[in-house]
Structure 1
């Protein structure tokens, strides 16, 4: 739990910092934290917000307003940490655009994200210790 909180603080403190590096653990702890927050937001949307808006609880037609707002707030940190993670593996951030290729692009990015960090300093800076 402490690692997840530390990752969230680190990523949010570098909200739109696209330079530098992000360790594998920082990246994956951040991803887990975002999934958990969005899951909780979905529950709050369905149980509390939709009834306040005149829909039945968990009715699909009501949408997910809180989840949508939170998703908008984490778009830039998600992109920034993904680019810093690519930097940590020695790749330029432009590789993120391969995710636009259906299925194959996402698989390639996941492969890049699970690669170990370069142990030495690279063109993007020294390794960033985490944990």
Structure 2
């Protein structure tokens, strides 16, 4: 849960690098939250109001962690726009997010894996 909260705290931080673990733990917590909120929306008969409010609330944090994850692989944050390409964009983005980061420092900062060690 700390990874999720750390991403929320750095909600508009697009500088630096994010480890794979930080990104995927955020995604891992985000998916069940959306599922629970969707169920609550259906029970209350308000679908999709609560789910959309949450989605809008975490849009900037998820964009920020995605850009930092791309920085860890040595790519610019503008590579996030690849996900908008129909059919293949999300596959390429999935590959980029699962790719191991560059060892050592790069133009976006020091390796976060080395900072935690």
Q: Give the structure-2-normalised TM-score.
A: 0.92
For 1:34, which of 17, 30, 37 is the aligned residue?
Answer: 30
How much does 1:91 deviate?
Answer: 0.5
Flag structure 1 segments of 5+ consecutive residues without an equivalent: 51-61
How much does 1:46 deviate?
Answer: 1.2
Q: Give the structure-1-normalised TM-score.
A: 0.83
Flag structure 2 segments of 5+ consecutive residues without an equivalent: none
Deviations 1:67-106 (A, max 9, x none): 0100010111111100000000110000001111112111
User: Are 1:122 and 2:106 matched, yes or no?
Assistant: yes
Distance 1:7 1:117 in 2: 18
User: Which has the greater radius of gyration?
Assistant: 1
